Amino acid sequence: MSTPELPAQELTLDIASPAAGGSSIARHDGQVVFVTGALPGERVRARTEAGPAAKFLRAEVTEVLEPSEFRVPDRRLDYLPESLRSGSQPDASPLLFGGMEYAHVELAHSRALKAEVIADQLSRIGHLDRSVEVHPAPGEEHTGRGTDWRTRVQLAVDEQGRLGMLAPRSHDVVPVNSAPLACPAIAEVDLSGLRLPGARRLEFAWAGDDGAVIVRGDCDPAAVTALTEALPEQWSILAETVADDEDSKGRRSGRRGSRGGQRQGGPPRRELSVVRGRSVLTETVAGTDYRVGADGFWQVHRDAPELLSGRVTAALGGSPRSLTDLYCGVGLLGLEAARATGAHLFGVEGVGPAIEHARSNAAGVDAEFLTLGVEKARLPESDAIILDPPRAGAGKAVTKSLVESTAATIVYVSCDAGTLARDLAALSAGGFAIESLEGFDLFPLTAHVETVTVLRR
């Protein structure tokens, strides 16, 4: 029996509370409606999405009938070409992009909404009754705008080669003139005149006084050359190419068998080639240089590395003799802590190039690193464990290892409140107590937030 399809409909809604992901919650005929572009306390007109009947509806604001005192003009308009700012028709609303879920919210109030979401996630998922404060990013306590912090930016590319951002819950590309929320060096790049036909994504990374641009996909080589000519020398340029190795050739020629009905051969393996400059950037934290791949993981907010490493080190105190750093990346959190405490450091990370950089970054530190998925690693005896997992969190296998470890202290850095709540429930059941849990608005004007949780036993 097929699920009935529901048509789109216009609703008048009273917005009750914030929801994870940057939307807000309303109710219509007893059914939950997740509304984008709204604020708690508002009355709005919203249009629901057409689709199969479900336990909840999704809707987007079409008109604000009773605005919140915390509503401000949508900041996304500042990034659009003039031709798009008033819509394609005289009375039409402009097509806006995703990734700035709080673009219409006063910055300080957006932090209050994030704190409410974290507390709700902790309660519903982790069964933990705890209020949380979300602190502003450095420099944004009073007059900050929250719009110039990203040192890593990804842009989509449309069929004409124009650069932009994806529309919410869509693969449609909305052209932009400059990279939203970017630090000045990236924001200064004029995107309106760049064309990258055949590319699927363009990535920017900035560190100190230089940066890198990565072109993903089958971009026209002439367009890559034009990009190189358009950007100053402080920008390294990298582009994806098809790997010319036996494994790749084998897959392209179909010598490897198919499985599960998939097309024989499969896509060729791609690798990054340096067109100009270098593939490694140097980040500096508290006077120490860290090597990181241009395409590698690094904290996105310009002030996040120093803030988070400082919080982690402070939580450990000066007494640990041994530390374990899980999901260690290029080693930032563990190495800063080891330098401050003199402890032996053991780091685990599943990405091989990141571990190579971690070993280089560990000069002068008593440290060893292992390239392995964290869920497969056997943890050594440690006084304290640091972990900074991806949004998926640690999960059952890793939290079990943490509970069975010798560590008396865990410092858990998270960028997802839902998976954090799940993992904290497991750690609490295993004998750890939450000493502190703080939020930091290191993704201003987006739905994301960073947290640092200290647990002891």
Residue 257 has pLDDT above 70, yes or no: no
The mean per-residue pLDDT over the stretch 305-334 comes to: 96
- Residue 243 clears pLDDT 60, i.e. is over it: yes
- Tell me how many domains the chain contains: 3
Residues 62, 36 within the same domain: yes
Task: Report which residue type is found at 82.
Answer: E
Q: Between helices 352-361 and 332-341, what is the axis angle to 10°?
A: 20
Is residue 334 assigned to a domain? yes
Examine residue 146 and state whether it is found in any structural domain, yes or no: no
Residues 322 and 446 in one domain: yes
- For residue 117, how many other CB atoms are within 10 A of its CB? 23
Gyration radius from the chain CA atoms = 24
429 and 307 co-located in one domain: yes
Q: What whole-number distance in Å separates Cα of residue 396 and Cα of residue 376? A: 12
Distances (CA, A) of 248 to 245, 267, 326: 5, 9, 32
pLDDT at 144: 78
Distance CA 412, CA 99 (A): 25
Do 87 and 227 reside in the same domain of the chain? no
Strand pairing report for 199-207 and 210-217:
antiparallel
Q: What is the CATH number of the domain that holds 232?
A: 2.40.50.1070
In a domain, 49, yes or no: yes
CA distance 117 to 40: 12
Task: Name residue 370's amino acid.
Answer: L
Q: How many CA atoms lie within 13 A of 442 on its CB side?
A: 23
Of 457, 345, 445, whose CA–CA distance to 114 is shortest?
445
> Is the separation of the CB atoms in 455 and 432 below 8 Å?
yes
Pick the more confident residue, 260 or 410. Answer: 410
Residue 255: what pLDDT? 34
Question: Would you say residue 90 has pLDDT above 50?
Answer: no
Lowest pLDDT segment from 10-14, 92-96, 149-153? 92-96
Closest CA to 151 of 22, 284, 240: 284
- pLDDT per residue over 115-169, tens digit each? 999 999 999 999 999 999 999 999 888 777 999 999 999 999 999 999 999 998 8
Of residues 104, 100, 117, 129, the one with CA closest to residue 18: 117
> What is the pLDDT, as a whole number, of residue 94?
66
Instruction: Clarify whether residues 173 and 42 are in a common domain.
Output: no
84, two tokens: 């798009």
Q: Is 431 exposed, middle or buried (0-12, 13-18, 19+ CB in 10 A)?
A: exposed
pTM of the model: 0.91
C-alpha 256, offset from chain centre:
35
Q: What's residue 86's pLDDT?
A: 64
Question: Is there a catalytic annotation at residue 415?
Answer: yes
Looking at the fold, whether 250 and 392 belong to one and the same domain comes out as no
In a domain, 289, yes or no: no
Q: Containing domain of residue 272, as a range?
A: 152-256+266-281
Q: Is 326 helix (H, G, I), strand (E, B) or coil?
A: strand
Give the per-residue pLDDT at 252.
38
In 10 A of CB 227, how many CB atoms? 22
**Residue type for position 376:** K
pLDDT tens, position by position, 205-238: 999 999 999 999 999 999 999 999 999 999 999 9
Residues 6+ apart with CB under 8 A from 260: none
pLDDT at res. 4: 77
Residue 372 pLDDT: 97
179 plus 85 within the same structural domain: no
Q: For residue 433, tell me if it sits in a domain.
A: yes
Q: What is the pLDDT of residues 429-444, one digit of tens each?
A: 999 999 999 999 999 9
Q: Which amino acid is located at 245 in the chain?
A: D
Residues 305 and 451 in one domain: yes
Clarify whether residues 221 and 251 are in a common domain.
yes
Half-sphere exposure of 146 (CA within 13 A, CB side): 29
The CA distance from 153 to 163, in Å, is 12
**Given the DSSP bridges, would you call strands 43-48 and 10-14 parallel, antiparallel or unpaired?**
antiparallel
The residue annotated as part of the active site, out of 183, 219, 328, 415, is 415
What's the pLDDT score for residue 258? 35
The domain that contains 72 carries what CATH number? 2.40.50.140
Partners of 14 in the β-ladder: 43
Whether residue 65 is contained in a domain is answered as yes
161 in the Ramachandran plot: left (φ > 0), alpha (ψ -120 to 50) or beta? left
Tell me the C-alpha distance between 300 and 148, whole Å: 11
Say whether pLDDT at 55 is over 90. no
**One domain, residues 447 and 322:** yes
d(CA 317, CA 373): 28
Q: Supply φ then ψ for residue 249, to 5 degrees.
A: -60, -40
Beta bridge partners of 285: 288
User: What are the residue ranges of helices labelled H in 105-241?
Assistant: 107-124, 184-187, 221-230
C-beta of residue 162 within 8 angstroms of C-beta of residue 156: no
Q: Within this chain, do residues 225 and 361 fall inside the same structural domain, yes or no?
A: no
Q: Is residue 288 part of a domain?
A: no
